[in-house]
Amino acid sequence: MADIEFLSKIQLFKNLNHSQIKKVAKILKPIKFKADEIIIAEGEKGDTMYIFKKGKVQITHQLTLRTGSNHWEEGEKSMAILDAEKINFFGEMSLVTGSPRSATIKALTECELYEMSKEDFEKLAEENPDIGYKIMKEIAAVLSHRIEGLNENILKLTTALSIALTKKKK
């Protein structure tokens, strides 16, 4: 079973009482990854999320770039580096939607995680709606915050592109 004291410090579970955290701990599976192991592969079917206990991971996306008039190349772009000190969980979109993974996540160091499956979470939430609600509320808050950050980045990129195109025309 997962470490109750550790889980009580995780943002995702901040509104749960001790008894509720114990119920969540029963559905978490401890899992370890060595450095350079792929934890999540972009495009694969997703039905789990991970609670970060220890380690550092890199998030990458596949990109197709035009490198000539008729030449395109595929490559990976590093989007972020996450560590257990700063972020508590990842993979939540697949837990909520079951959608394919939107990025690849690779362990940069040895990682200790807790895995939560969509099936186990849904069963827990059906049996304990208050737990499901509180966890989903935290996931929604994190996703909303990430969307705000993405919107800011899109605005910056759009502005930079507009300036570049304006200079090119002159």
Q: What is the DSSP string of 47-63?
A: -EEEEEEE-EEEEEEEE
**According to the model, what pLDDT value does residue 69 have?**
66
Percentage of the residues of the chain whose pLDDT score is greater than 90: 48
Our measurement of the distance from residue 37's CA atom to the centroid of its chain's CA atoms, rounded to an integer in Å, reads: 16
Q: What are phi and psi of 89, to 5 degrees?
A: -155, 160
Collect the ranges in the chain with pLDDT lower than 70: 1, 64-69, 71-78, 149-150, 169-170
Q: Whole-angstrom Cα distance, residue 67 to residue 75?
A: 11
Q: What are phi and psi of 161, to 5 degrees?
A: -65, -45
Domain span at 39: 4-169
**According to the model, what pLDDT value does residue 72 have?**
65
Give the chain's length: 170
Domain count, the chain: 1
Residue identified by tokens 């099936």 is: 119
**Which is nearest to 98 in space by CA: 149, 141, 49?**
49
**According to the model, what pLDDT value does residue 123 have?**
97
Task: Say if pTM beats, i.e. exceeds, 0.85.
Answer: no
3-class DSSP assignment, residue 43:
coil
* CATH number of the domain to which 70 belongs: 2.60.120.10
